[in-house]
Chains A and B, each alone.
Chain A
Amino acid sequence: MSAILQSAATALNLVTSADAVLWTIVARSLSVSATACALACGAGVVLGAWLGVARFAGRDGVLTVLNTLLAVPSVVVGLGVYLLLSRTGPLGGLGWLFSFKAMVLAQALLVLPVVTALTRQVVEDAERVHGEQLRSLGAGTLLRALLIAWDERYALLTVLIAAFGRAVSEVGAVMIVGGNIDGFTRVMTTAIALETSKGDLPLALGLGLVLLAVVLLLNVLIAVLRRWRQRVDGAAIGGMAVAA
């Protein structure tokens, strides 16, 4: 018990004393996940919104595959990206393996189904209620999808935050395609795994604390967003209720 307390105290000291090693890893981790999320969201929101509105043969099959991809383990994504980027793989010529770019690609592919599936659900629900009126204004499928996605932007912000949470906390994919190279591709989760195996519990615990803080901050952000939306929508609903 005292060993845990001692490790925790040392970890806290590392966090509060702005330890360069720790904060470099934190910064790299956040930048990899933020870049991956930005890329995945750019594609996932458009794709998800379109899937929420478009009706075509085989749509149910596409949605089943998409929902299945939500549960794909990060190590499998890492393996897939590794095969793509390895010297003999189709993208081997890029020379991205064991680099920042490889980690971004792996995390982007990991969260793309999350963003796409959740956006699809949000947009489809909204389209069921409002789509007809947008159609009556002359909006085609893609425009309707984009307009609804834009209108549901606060709900989608929650999706983006959830996607970032998934990206920043995964370990398998970045471990495989990044290689956990000190000072180069080491991120919070891979560092925690390594330091724990080496027995350097204070650094692992310190990184764990930061990771927890990041996830906590994301949840606080989601709660604040939700409350803000309730206030805005509540005002509008109140307006309708007065009139009804």
Chain B
Amino acid sequence: MQTLEPPLFALRELGVRYGAVQALAGVDLRVLPGERVALVGANGSGKSTLLRVLHGLVRPSAGQMRRDGAPRVAMVFQRPFVLRASAVGNVALGLWLHGVRWKQARAQAAAALQRVGLQDVARQNARTLSGGQQQRLAFARAWALRPDVLLLDEPTASLDPHAKREVEALMADFAASHGSAGPAQPLTMVFSSHNLGQVKRLASRVVYLEHGRVLADLPVHDFFDGPLPEAARLFVKGEMT
């Protein structure tokens, strides 16, 4: 993808090894501001590892990654971890860890919970919330940080259809929002998913991974309508049927 805009993330020949397992190998990837990149591929293809590398949770064992400036990055995991505390306390914690005073953090957390429709359970123990509610709480926690980049690791994979719809609506809402610098800077979203319908609806670009390697990196319409490498074509066919 050619552009004059500097990429937020530029990965070059990047590799990650967990002991004997090569999770990522020779990955070249550029993520531009405002892009909505979907990572697709079978289990174990390296999607989650790639998201963790972008976040800085996993250190590459080969190659290099450059970041443009210091974008604020937030991540939502497939199974969100919530502390044995109120929902508002859980959201406020993320803010507090980023240096916001506790009282102010709670006020901002309440606003974030309202945005995801959890204002009625703000004082409830987060561990007693349903899976869908916990995932919305995780979105509130991420949104409260006003990130420039939102990373989502299969955020709807463990949810029932109803909760899936709710969370996907949140993803669309977030994708239309902006980063910490205001409306001029659209939010960048990178998410992994097995749900190709969701990818079609939300992504502007699709990266297909297999055995830790990028086999296809295409705009979303080209990915679904254009020619694909055989492995990617079979994957799409298998997931769509």
Q: A132-B57, A136-B55, A138-B98 are in contact. Are A242 and B130 (CB under 8 A)?
A: yes
B134: which A residues are within 8 A, CB to CB? 239-240
Choose, from B24-32, B77-85, B103-111, B191-199, the stretch at the interface: B77-85
B132: which A residues are within 8 A, CB to CB? 243
Q: Interface code B128-139, partner A: CB below 8 Å = 1, 0 otherwise?
A: 111111100000
Q: Is the CB of A236 within 8 A of B127?
A: yes
Q: Is the CB of A244 within 8 A of B158?
A: yes
Instruction: Give the contacts of A225-244 with B (CB-CB under 8 A).
Output: 232-233, 235-236, 239-244
Instruction: Give the contacts of B127-173 with A (CB-CB under 8 A).
Output: 127-134, 141, 158-160, 163
Q: A153-B84, A243-B130 are in contact. Are A136 and B75 (CB under 8 A)?
A: yes
Q: Is the CB of A243 within 8 A of B131?
A: yes
- A225 and B5 CA atoms in complex are apart in Å by 58
Please tell me if A161 contacts chain B, counting CB pairs below 8 Å: no
Task: Name the distance in Å between B89's Cβ and chain A's nearest Cβ.
Answer: 11
Q: Is the CB of B158 within 8 A of A243?
A: yes
Summed over the interface, the residue pairs from A and B with CB atoms below 8 Å come to a total of 68
- A233 and B84 CA atoms in complex are apart in Å by 9
Please tell me if A135 contacts chain B, counting CB pairs below 8 Å: yes
Interface of A, secondary structure class, is helix
Q: Interface code A140-151, partner B: CB below 8 Å = 1, 0 otherwise?
A: 000100010011
Give the nearest-CB partner of B55 in chain A: A136
Task: Name the distance in Å between A155's Cβ and chain B's nearest Cβ.
Answer: 11
Please tell me if A130 contacts chain B, counting CB pairs below 8 Å: yes
B81: which A residues are within 8 A, CB to CB? 129-130, 133-134
Please tell me if A137 contacts chain B, counting CB pairs below 8 Å: yes
Give the nearest-CB partner of B126 in chain A: A236
Q: Interface code B66-102, partner A: CB below 8 Å = 1, 0 otherwise?
A: 0000000011010111011000000001100110000
Q: Is the CB of A240 within 8 A of B128?
A: no
Out of A130, A154, A239, name the residue touching B130 (CB < 8 Å): A239
Interface residues on A, range: 20 to 34
Query: What total of chain B residues lie within 8 Å of the partner, measured CB to CB?
Result: 29
Task: Name the distance in Å between A241's Cβ and chain B's nearest Cβ.
Answer: 8
Task: Name the distance in Å between A33's Cβ and chain B's nearest Cβ.
Answer: 28
Q: Is the CB of A239 within 8 A of B141?
A: no
B98: which A residues are within 8 A, CB to CB? 138
Out of A139, A153, A235, name the residue touching B97 (CB < 8 Å): A139
Of the candidates A136, A147, A233, the one having the most CB atoms from chain B within 10 angstroms of its own CB is A136
Q: Is the CB of A151 within 8 A of B84?
A: yes
Out of A129, A133, A143, A235, name the residue touching B127 (CB < 8 Å): A235
Q: Is the CB of B163 within 8 A of A243?
A: yes
Q: Is the CB of B77 within 8 A of A239?
A: no
- A150 and B93 CA atoms in complex are apart in Å by 13
B133: which A residues are within 8 A, CB to CB? 239
Q: A243-B158, A243-B160 are in contact. Are A143 and B128 (CB under 8 A)?
A: no
Out of B127, B141, B160, name the residue touching A244 (CB < 8 Å): B160
Of the candidates B74, B130, B159, the one having the most CB atoms from chain A within 10 angstroms of its own CB is B130
Q: Is the CB of B57 within 8 A of A136?
A: yes
Q: A136-B55, A232-B127, A240-B158 are in contact. Are A151 and B97 (CB under 8 A)?
A: no
Task: Name the distance in Å between B90's Cβ and chain A's nearest Cβ.
Answer: 10
A244: which B residues are within 8 A, CB to CB? 131, 158-160
Give the nearest-CB partner of B128 in chain A: A235
Out of B84, B141, B160, name the residue touching A137 (CB < 8 Å): B141
Q: Is the CB of A137 within 8 A of B97?
A: yes
A147: which B residues are within 8 A, CB to CB? 83, 93
Binding site for A on B (CB under 8 A): 52, 55, 57, 74-75, 77, 79-81, 83-84, 93-94, 97-98, 125, 127-134, 141, 158-160, 163
Identify 24 residue pairs between A and B in the complex whose beta-carbon atoms are under 8 Å apart, listed by A's number: A129-B81, A130-B81, A132-B77, A133-B75, A133-B77, A133-B81, A136-B57, A136-B75, A138-B94, A138-B97, A143-B97, A147-B93, A154-B84, A232-B125, A232-B127, A232-B128, A236-B129, A239-B128, A243-B130, A243-B131, A243-B160, A244-B158, A244-B159, A244-B160
Binding site for B on A (CB under 8 A): 129-130, 132-139, 143, 147, 150-151, 153-154, 232-233, 235-236, 239-244
Known: A240-B130, A243-B159. 6 other contacts (CB 8 A): A129-B81, A232-B128, A236-B127, A236-B129, A239-B131, A240-B79
Give the top 10 A-B pairs by smallest Cβ distance, nearest first.
A243-B131, A236-B127, A133-B81, A130-B81, A138-B97, A239-B130, A240-B131, A136-B75, A137-B94, A151-B83
